[in-house]
């Protein structure tokens, strides 16, 4: 949507709608992060398992990119 065609008031309304949508999405993501954080705080062993799994995925992803780049 090109904003140059609209008068200033309409552009302001469009911008306000976009900002309110972004705020709503931010609230949803914040709630999800809070839930995951609470779960990780409850189970310390699971926390290290998740961290180790993320590290392994990152390692294998890096290795695969390196191998594909060589081929």
| Residue that has been written with the tokens 């705080």 in this structure | 41
What is the pLDDT confidence band of residue 3, given thresholds at 50, 70 and 90?
low
Tell me the C-alpha distance between 71 and 62, whole Å. 15
Q: Which two tokens stand for residue 52?
A: 């180790």
Average pLDDT over residues 8-13: 88
Q: Which two tokens stand for residue 56?
A: 């392994």
Q: What Rg value do the Cα atoms of the chain yield, rounded?
A: 22
Annotated domain spans of the chain = 8-70
pLDDT, tens digit (0-9, with 9 covering 90-100), for 34-56: 998 888 788 777 778 888 999 99
Whether the predicted pLDDT of 1 surpasses 70: no
Model-level pTM?
0.49
Q: What pLDDT is attached to residue 6? A: 74
């Amino acid at each position: 949507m090109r904003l140059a065609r609209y008068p200033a008031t309409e552009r302001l309304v469009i911008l306000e709608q976009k900002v309110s949508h972004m705020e709503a999405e931010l609230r949803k993501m914040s709630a999800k992060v809070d839930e995951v954080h609470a779960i990780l705080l409850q189970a310390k062993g699971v926390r290290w398992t998740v961290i180790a799994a993320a590290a392994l995925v990152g390692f294998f992803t890096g290795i695969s990119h390196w191998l594909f780049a060589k081929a």
